[in-house]
């Protein structure tokens, strides 16, 4: 899974999150937390320029984000953290994520919507997201 985040006013400014592990959409739909990493490859600029990744938390390796899908709101809520479960540093809320979860369950990973970034930098607070396998 790759979630691309882009500036709605300038699609040439974008970053991405990806899953290092296989994605099991029924578990996501059930609210199981999962890891995502901030991609240093799929990005229009250095990730530290795109997002506010200043400590805390402090990372010694790749930037990790974990998320949990809220089936009541249809939002994927994510946190910048070194471990799953740490809710100290909100990262982004991916609105309209319910359709992407349903599409994934049906074997067709796709979806798009708006995202509210808690740690914006070159990417604005209100950005867009789209999902691809």
Indicate the pTM of the whole model: 0.94
> Average per-residue pLDDT in the chain?
95
Residues in the chain: 133
Q: How far apart are the first and last CA of the chain?
A: 5
Dist. CA 118–CA 125, nearest whole Å: 7
User: Which structural domain, as residue segments, surrounds residue 47?
Assistant: 2-132
Q: What's residue 132's pLDDT? A: 81
Tell me the torsion sign for CA atoms 3, 16, 84, 93: negative
As given in the structure block, the two tokens for residue 69 are 């899908």
- Residues 51-66 have pLDDT tens digits of 999 999 999 889 999 9
Dist. CA 61–CA 23, nearest whole Å: 22
Q: What is the mean pLDDT of residues 80-89?
A: 94
Q: What is the mean pLDDT of residues 97-119?
A: 95
Query: Most distant CA pair in the chain: distance in Å?
Result: 39
What share of the chain has pLDDT > 90, as a percent? 95
Q: What's residue 60's pLDDT? A: 84
Number of domains in the chain: 1
Q: What is the mean pLDDT of residues 85-103?
A: 96
Whether 133 shows a pLDDT value over 80: the answer reads no
């Amino acid at each position: 899974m790759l979630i691309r985040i882009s500036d709605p006013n300038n699609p040439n400014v974008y970053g991405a999150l990806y899953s290092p592990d296989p994605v099991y959409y029924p578990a996501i739909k059930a609210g199981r937390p999962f890891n995502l990493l901030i991609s240093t490859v799929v990005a229009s600029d250095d990730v530290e320029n795109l997002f506010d990744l200043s400590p805390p938390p402090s990372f010694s390796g790749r930037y990790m984000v974990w998320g949990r899908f809220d089936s009541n709101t249809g939002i994927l809520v994510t946190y910048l953290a070194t471990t799953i479960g740490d809710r100290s540093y909100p990262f982004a809320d991916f609105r309209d994520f319910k359709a992407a979860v349903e599409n994934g369950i049906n074997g067709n990973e796709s979806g798009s919507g708006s995202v509210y970034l808690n740690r914006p930098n070159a990417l604005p607070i209100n950005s867009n997201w789209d999902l691809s396998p």
